[in-house]
C-alpha cells in the first residue's frame, strides 16, 4: 500500500490510477491523516446475447393472443390480392 498527500496525488493522479488498476492499494492523506482510498471500479458484466425467436416461439405467442385476429394470408398474398382487385 502506498500513501500520498493530496498535493502529490493531484500532480501524479494518472500514475496513481495506473497503479490501482495494477492491483496496488493507494491511500491519499490530508495533514498526515488518511482520507481517501483509491479503488478500481469493477467492470460491468456484458449483457447476455439475444435469443433468436424460433417458429415455436411465434406459435406460442400466437396461440395466447387475446382479441387479435390472426390473418389468413401473409403480407405478400394480401398485396397481390389488393393489386388484382384494382385491375378489375
Answer yes or no: is 46 within a domain. Answer: no
H or E segment and range at residue 48: none
CATH classification at residue 14 = 3.40.1620.10
Task: Say which residues have a Cβ less than 8 Å from residue 23's Cβ, sequence separation at least 6.
Answer: none
Angle at 26 between CA 34 and CA 46, to 5 degrees: 125
pLDDT in tens, 45-81: 999 899 899 999 988 888 888 776 767 788 888 899 8
Query: What is the pairing mode between strands 33-38 and 26-30?
Result: antiparallel
The answer to whether 4 touches 27, Cβ cutoff 8 Å, is yes
> What gap in Å lies between CA 45 and CA 22, rounded to an integer?
20
Reading the block at residue 44, the C-alpha cell is 460491468
**Whole domain around residue 81: which residue ranges?**
55-87
pLDDT in tens, 1-50: 999 999 999 999 999 999 999 999 999 999 999 999 999 998 889 998 99
pLDDT at residue 72 in the model = 79
Count: domains in the chain: 2
pLDDT at residue 88 in the model = 63
Amino acid at each position: 500500500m502506498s500513501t500520498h498527500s493530496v498535493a502529490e496525488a493531484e500532480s501524479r493522479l494518472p500514475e496513481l490510477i495506473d497503479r490501482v488498476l495494477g492491483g496496488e492499494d493507494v491511500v491519499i492523506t490530508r495533514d498526515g491523516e488518511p482520507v481517501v482510498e483509491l479503488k478500481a471500479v469493477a467492470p460491468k458484466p456484458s449483457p447476455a446475447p439475444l435469443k433468436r425467436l424460433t417458429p415455436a416461439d411465434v406459435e406460442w405467442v400466437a396461440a395466447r393472443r387475446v382479441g387479435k385476429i390472426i390473418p389468413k394470408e401473409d403480407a405478400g398474398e394480401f398485396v397481390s390480392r389488393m393489386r388484382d382487385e384494382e385491375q378489375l
